[in-house]
Amino acid sequence: MSSIYGRNIKISIFGQSHSEAVGVVVDGLPAGHRIDVEELQAFLKRRAPGINEYSTKRYEPDVPEILSGLVGGVTCGAPLCAVIKDTDARPEDYDSILDSPRPGHADYTASIRYKGHNDKRGGGHLSGRLTAPLCIAGGICLQLLAEEGIEIAAHILSIGSVSDASFDFVNVDAEELKILKQKAFPVLRDDCGERMLDAIMNARQDGDSLGGVIECAVVGLPAGLGDPMFDGVENRVAGIVFGIPAVRGIEFGNGFDSAILRGSTNNDAFYMDGKNVKTKTNNHGGILGGITSGMPLFFRVAMKPTPSIALEQKSVSLSEGRDIAIEISGRHDPCIVPRAVPCIEAAAAIAILDMKVAASV
Amino acid sequence: MSSIYGRNIKISIFGQSHSEAVGVVVDGLPAGHRIDVEELQAFLKRRAPGINEYSTKRYEPDVPEILSGLVGGVTCGAPLCAVIKDTDARPEDYDSILDSPRPGHADYTASIRYKGHNDKRGGGHLSGRLTAPLCIAGGICLQLLAEEGIEIAAHILSIGSVSDASFDFVNVDAEELKILKQKAFPVLRDDCGERMLDAIMNARQDGDSLGGVIECAVVGLPAGLGDPMFDGVENRVAGIVFGIPAVRGIEFGNGFDSAILRGSTNNDAFYMDGKNVKTKTNNHGGILGGITSGMPLFFRVAMKPTPSIALEQKSVSLSEGRDIAIEISGRHDPCIVPRAVPCIEAAAAIAILDMKVAASV
Amino acid sequence: MSSIYGRNIKISIFGQSHSEAVGVVVDGLPAGHRIDVEELQAFLKRRAPGINEYSTKRYEPDVPEILSGLVGGVTCGAPLCAVIKDTDARPEDYDSILDSPRPGHADYTASIRYKGHNDKRGGGHLSGRLTAPLCIAGGICLQLLAEEGIEIAAHILSIGSVSDASFDFVNVDAEELKILKQKAFPVLRDDCGERMLDAIMNARQDGDSLGGVIECAVVGLPAGLGDPMFDGVENRVAGIVFGIPAVRGIEFGNGFDSAILRGSTNNDAFYMDGKNVKTKTNNHGGILGGITSGMPLFFRVAMKPTPSIALEQKSVSLSEGRDIAIEISGRHDPCIVPRAVPCIEAAAAIAILDMKVAASV
Amino acid sequence: MSSIYGRNIKISIFGQSHSEAVGVVVDGLPAGHRIDVEELQAFLKRRAPGINEYSTKRYEPDVPEILSGLVGGVTCGAPLCAVIKDTDARPEDYDSILDSPRPGHADYTASIRYKGHNDKRGGGHLSGRLTAPLCIAGGICLQLLAEEGIEIAAHILSIGSVSDASFDFVNVDAEELKILKQKAFPVLRDDCGERMLDAIMNARQDGDSLGGVIECAVVGLPAGLGDPMFDGVENRVAGIVFGIPAVRGIEFGNGFDSAILRGSTNNDAFYMDGKNVKTKTNNHGGILGGITSGMPLFFRVAMKPTPSIALEQKSVSLSEGRDIAIEISGRHDPCIVPRAVPCIEAAAAIAILDMKVAASV
């Protein structure tokens, strides 16, 4: 198993849904950067469960304890380790799943992979809980990027069949992104957000769940970041984003839509904006040949509906080798998309800071 | 720049569109496997340019010369290096682009990234030509996987707005994939293929180009391959697939479509098929938690339209700092999707063999 | 900074001499192995300070808290994180060194490397304290290797000019190594050990320190482990052993002595021992071409004398830019070689388990 | 097998002693550096066989063909691939060793490792011939380092029991190193060199071989390069140097000698030299805590005697499982130490440029 990501900024994530703690080591952080712990805490709160009606009732305050890497609040060049202790675990909720894999979950595949020794409580290491340490690492990277004027924010582009507007690919700016990050329910059009919340409530009442799409923007990136082939922005961002449970797809710029366009429409014309080279449209989403163009960077991530639903489902008894029906008790989000928004921002921040550090070569 | 991919099977790709040669080193191939050079050659021919009316007129026979790694046609455990010499280059075709970046191409971003020293002839290292060595490495990996009953094949799911049928996610089998790989134009429904060819011809007549979507299937995979977080099947496959020029998005299983479903529909029910655990549907595309389930693996890749078109486009003169109009001469594919099909298969094969080798731990 | 080592078994070490905690994440441990925590604790005790007269008076019980990776004492495939909380730190002892680098220490180089932001208390991340988490990881790897009959033990070959006997390169066996590991002062000839202790006491009385050489043996290794070039046993072992502070050199087999021999003497003749191929002598120390031969593996590590001594030394005031004399207070080992013995065993165990996992390919 | 080294500058070496070609891909070279091919050729000539009486009679002009990575002689940011074609192979010389492993060679271990499929001609990938591509990569890195005033040179410190003087650890400078590199037989004291040559000739007459020690110096390095733990200068340099066949040990600064000193003698006092911090002695060899101090860097490498000797030796017949006597025919160096000198320089250059690129973060 490799829960380690990165080349220059390397993160190593550990913990299981109900282990003593979950946490992360961030290795390679440059020295001399002050970390605002309150800001980090505020960032983590956006991911934390239990804070509103559409998320799981499991309440984890998610207060990270920083064990190393800071001196007087400033990075000292040594690996930073932060842990979150488990405070509200109820592992008994998961007793029934020990023998019967939950549809849509990794219970079955993990059991094969780890020969039955995987931690079965709450999905073990394959739980969404592990996005908490991802957000710690990402929250720190976001602060370092912000020092250089790079802002990252995401919004919910759709929940089920309810859609928000897209970013303005050409004109989105840092201010807009900062405002977006302060929203309790991060959408561009609040009326769309309300309809999304309705859809979530409906799904919950039905004992069901919903997926959605998250759209992420990065502004302030210099041109010339990334490399062709296997170190492109897309490879790097995809390489970490697929580490977030429930992600099923990723696209950059106009992505799958580009496949139905002709080249004359899809190509973005260059022009001079004073002394700067820009493009009039931004179908390329800020990346050409794996390398940033200086235009805003965009990508979208598809998230499947939470597999944990209250409805009865069909599964098997592994021990008895026969089909059975199961019901999943416990506390679960009818839609994890809102809580995944900061995770996507975190993942993007880690990938980009890692590339940025390499690019200063 | 890192044109190296992999952890156990590592490939290192080199060359530029018009350098002496392009090639690849494959490090870590297990010893004792016979490589069928004719079969490899046949595989490469599917990617080769100049073989039919819808591809560039540049003709490269793409005959690889294997410099090391084989003894008597059998892998000896040493790194295998194969090169393809450049035989039909006409670098003068690209003179006009040296100062004016082609819209949709990486000319501008590469120029910034490499401070103007990048090889500008034909896109240099950022050319589709580099998929030839990718296919050499992939073709070899395909042969090793086939020894264990693992088959990989892709088809053109759409060109512009013309669509093929999808694979049968549950019932696709190795025989179907083998047949598919022998088709000159790899689609499931040949009538759809004919309409795709019409669309390509129309675009060419208009001096324009088209993109499309490729769908890839892998059958015969054991359950339990891959890891959660950053070593999942998705991370690994995406990490190499985005190395293919023009790829803009990737999705696994039902991908972006899962985002509009409810959990009760998207979850795949488990059942016992004799002594084997299977799922009745296969929305998960053979991967749960980054780990294979033993069901067929599916993913789809969006490719943008070839940016090289015959129409006049707007660009800038980098030296003069002013807007200009450009026309791109040279020989270009109106649609690279058909030739990208074996590249996607190759990329998948490399990623999966690399994981398979690691999983034998 | 990269305090991450390994390819398949990856360890990520964090902490500073006086941070909240030091610890390690071990990523990639195969699932299903019971970890004997008492045995681990006993192993760590061999490295722990404060336990006898020749080591620093700083007393750290070094009780690791395992935060993740075990379920019911058995590895679950998820990354294992273990931390040791700081319980007896006296950072004030180090006030005087903040401006004046201690000769032989990394105070100066770390200050340049981390632009003055490095944790200066007790050497920060560059402290011998970080060998505690190395020993946690190594102690776990030792247990997994022992399951397969692989034993690793080291002894003090010399302290200053007092030498112990060498291992019998051909006949050393697992029993001998197990006995060696139970010795309070690990030497092959206890009379040599007593003279070493005298030498250490003399150095202490003089306010001075001593270095030494550690010799490590590994028995039970299969032939065929490792690879030529950059993944050889030597590269891998050296790559981790040099992570232990004060290590200045490493040699395998007869090492530097081989340089004065003729080939006819240095070559080890092969012979058949029943059905097994063995060598009559073992100058090659169990490695030929980076690959194990099945003979016992040997290497020796040179450790410089502890740079912290009580005598007055010459240094500079970095702030004032002038030469000064300094005295180092605080509690320091007059000789860290005895405590380094388990660290060397730990490092070897990590390197070998990492290779072993890769070799099962 | 991993014949890939490096993190930012990555080299991938391929080829066997008698394959079509040997070569190297250098990935990550910064763009915009002119490579002087004649200088590279002159550097390679120092390693080339057949050029004088003490080396093998096999003559390989070792003229590299650069297939990619340069445009007009200047690095373009794309991976550089260089190959050397095999021109004088006589594989029949090795027929007798196919069944009987040569003592001191890796024939036996490679056969186990690669299940009998390894290329047995001339040691295959485990041949000293593979240092030719190492020297190509290193020769290029040396040129890039020289642009920044960093010079690397090594000399033969001893052959058998004949010793040269050591470098002056404190005062060695770039001029001295440049002169050293132009010597046909690189020693500091030519009279010692003559006695070394006598010793080699004597060994050859006896059908025997000799080993030796090489001492390497690096001047012009800035302070602050490298990292503690696993990315230290020592780890990195050792990680590549052990890739050179016949290397048995490495030590930095005063190395193993430090183990017999007291701290008061071994510690190097700091002093101000104008505005620069220097040390009066240089026992630390330019590295403290894995990080460069700005003082000259030193290391020594032990090389065992060439295992190929003309004398009869004892081995086994693998097929018959019985002891036999063998004689090795073919052309072999009685002492490879002189030819290994540029290899050590090359290895150091690659490791240091790789670190330097990372350190510019």
Mean pLDDT of chain C: 93
pLDDT at D360 over 60: no
How many Cβ pairs closer than 8 A exist between chain B and C? 15
pLDDT of D56: 58
* B80 shares contact with chain D (CB less than 8 Å): yes
What average pLDDT does this structure show over D21-43? 97
pLDDT at D354 over 80: yes
Q: What is the residue whose two structure tokens read 């047949």?
A: B179
What average pLDDT does this structure show over C181-198? 96
pLDDT of D60: 59
* A72 shares contact with chain C (CB less than 8 Å): no
Inter-chain residue contact B210 with A106, CB threshold 8 Å: no
Closest Cα of chain A to B139: distance in Å?
Answer: 18
Q: What is the residue whose two structure tokens read 């197990």?
A: C178
Say which residue, C97 or D312, is predicted with more confidence.
Answer: D312
**Residues contacting C214, CB < 8 A, separation 6+:** C154, C155, C156, C157, C300, C301, C303, C337, C340, C341, C344
Q: Which residue of B has its CA nearest to A14?
A: B229
Closest Cα of chain C to B77: distance in Å?
Answer: 10
Instruction: Report residue B234 CA to chain centroid gap.
Output: 15
Please identify every stretch of chain B with a pLDDT value under 50, giving residue numbers as ranges. Answer: 361
Inter-chain residue contact C8 with B360, CB threshold 8 Å: no
- B164, B337 contact by CB (below 8 A): no
pLDDT of D361: 42
* B68 shares contact with chain D (CB less than 8 Å): yes
The DSSP code sequence of B329-345 is -S---S--HHHHHHHHH
Confidence of residue A361 (pLDDT cuts 50, 70, 90): very low
pLDDT in tens, A179-199: 999 999 999 999 999 999 999
Q: Which of B104, B213, B289 lies nearest to residue A263, judging by beta carbons? A: B104
pLDDT of B329: 78
What average pLDDT does this structure show over C264-277? 97
pLDDT at D330 over 90: no
> Which residues of chain A make contact with C71, given a CB cutoff of 8 A?
16, 117-119, 124
What average pLDDT does this structure show over D33-59? 80
* A1 shares contact with chain C (CB less than 8 Å): yes
pLDDT of A166: 97
* C358 shares contact with chain B (CB less than 8 Å): yes
pLDDT in tens, D86-141: 876 555 555 555 789 999 999 999 999 999 999 998 899 999 999 999 999 999 99
- C328, C302 contact by CB (below 8 A): no
Residues present in chain D in total: 361
Element (H, E) at D56: none
How many Cβ pairs closer than 8 A exist between chain A and C? 178
pLDDT at C64 over 90: yes
Element (H, E) at A70: strand A70-71
CB-hemisphere CA count at 13 Å for A51? Answer: 15
pLDDT in tens, C206-215: 999 999 999 9
Q: What is the residue whose two structure tokens read 């071409």?
A: C289
Inter-chain residue contact B229 with A243, CB threshold 8 Å: yes
Cα(D67)–Cα(B166) distance, integer angstroms: 42
- What is the layout of strands, in order, in the sheet containing B21-27? B4-5, B10-14, B21-27, B80-85, B65-68
pLDDT in tens, C31-44: 999 999 999 999 99
* A35 shares contact with chain C (CB less than 8 Å): no
Chain A from 172 to 211: CB within 8 A of any C CB: none
pLDDT at C359 over 70: no
Closest Cα of chain B to A282: distance in Å?
Answer: 10
pLDDT at A213 over 60: yes
pLDDT in tens, D339-349: 999 999 999 99
Inter-chain residue contact D14 with B114, CB threshold 8 Å: no
* C245 shares contact with chain D (CB less than 8 Å): yes
- Closest CA relative to residue D168, chosen from D176, D158, D178, D160: D176
- How would you label D91-126 residue by residue, b for 16+ Cβ within 10 Å and e otherwise? eebbeebebbbbbbbbbbbbbbbbeebbbbbbbbbb
pLDDT of B49: 73
Strands (E), chain C: 4-5, 10-14, 21-27, 65-68, 70-71, 74-75, 80-85, 151-159, 162-163, 212-219, 247-252, 270-273, 276-279, 287-288, 291-292, 297-303, 313-317, 322-326
Closest Cα of chain D to C255: distance in Å?
Answer: 5
- Supply the DSSP symbol for C34: B
* B90 shares contact with chain C (CB less than 8 Å): no
What average pLDDT does this structure show over C141-165? 98
Q: Which of D2, D76, D113 lies nearest to residue B114, judging by beta carbons? A: D76
pLDDT in tens, A152-177: 999 999 999 999 999 999 999 999 99
pLDDT of C50: 58
Please measure the distance between the N-terminal and C-terminal CA atoms of chain B and give it in whole angstroms.
Answer: 30
Closest Cα of chain B to C193: distance in Å?
Answer: 42
Cα(D241)–Cα(D340) distance, integer angstroms: 11
Token pair for residue B333? 């594919």
Inter-chain residue contact C108 with D305, CB threshold 8 Å: no
Chains contacting chain D through 3 or more C-beta pairs under 8 A:
A, B, C
Chain C from 263 to 322: CB within 8 A of any A CB: none
Inter-chain residue contact B119 with D76, CB threshold 8 Å: yes
pLDDT of D260: 97
Q: Which of C74, C79, C110 lies nearest to residue A3, judging by beta carbons? A: C79
Mean pLDDT of chain A: 93
Q: Which of C3, C65, C116 lies nearest to residue A27, judging by beta carbons? A: C3
Collapsing DSSP states into helix, strand and coil, what is residue B230? helix
* C75 shares contact with chain A (CB less than 8 Å): yes
pTM for the model stands at 0.96
Q: Which of A239, A293, A315 lies nearest to residue B270, judging by beta carbons? A: A315
What average pLDDT does this structure show over D317-323? 94
- D49, D59 contact by CB (below 8 A): yes
CB-hemisphere CA count at 13 Å for D239? Answer: 30
Q: Is the ipTM of this complex over 0.90?
A: yes
The share of chain C scoring above pLDDT 70, in percent, equals 92
Cα(D120)–Cα(D99) distance, integer angstroms: 9
Confidence of residue C193 (pLDDT cuts 50, 70, 90): very high
Biggest alpha carbon–alpha carbon distance for chain D? 72
Inter-chain residue contact C361 with B8, CB threshold 8 Å: yes
What average pLDDT does this structure show over A51-75? 79
Inter-chain residue contact B360 with C358, CB threshold 8 Å: no
> Which residues of chain A make contact with B138, given a CB cutoff of 8 A?
none
- Closest CA relative to residue A17, chosen from A120, A137, A136: A120
What average pLDDT does this structure show over A314-324? 94
Inter-chain residue contact B360 with C361, CB threshold 8 Å: yes
- Supply the DSSP symbol for C182: T
Q: Give strand pairing partners of B302.
A: B213, B249
Q: Which residue of B has its CA nearest to A213?
A: B259
> Which residues of chain C make contact with D346, given a CB cutoff of 8 A?
none
> Which residues of chain A make contact with B310, given a CB cutoff of 8 A?
none
Best mutation target, B34, B65, B76, to test chain D (most D CBs within 10 A):
B76
Inter-chain residue contact D232 with C242, CB threshold 8 Å: yes
Element (H, E) at A12: strand A10-14
Inter-chain residue contact D2 with B28, CB threshold 8 Å: yes
pLDDT at A354 over 50: yes
> Which residues of chain C make contact with D247, given a CB cutoff of 8 A?
234
pLDDT at D291 over 60: yes
Inter-chain residue contact A360 with D360, CB threshold 8 Å: yes
pLDDT in tens, D182-227: 999 999 999 999 999 999 999 999 999 999 999 999 999 999 999 9
What average pLDDT does this structure show over C146-156? 98
* A245 shares contact with chain B (CB less than 8 Å): yes
Q: Which of B67, B114, B124 lies nearest to residue D21, judging by beta carbons? A: B67
> Which residues of chain B make contact with A360, given a CB cutoff of 8 A?
none
Inter-chain residue contact D8 with A358, CB threshold 8 Å: yes
> Which residues of chain D make contact with C231, given a CB cutoff of 8 A?
1-3
Chain C from 206 to 225: CB within 8 A of any B CB: none
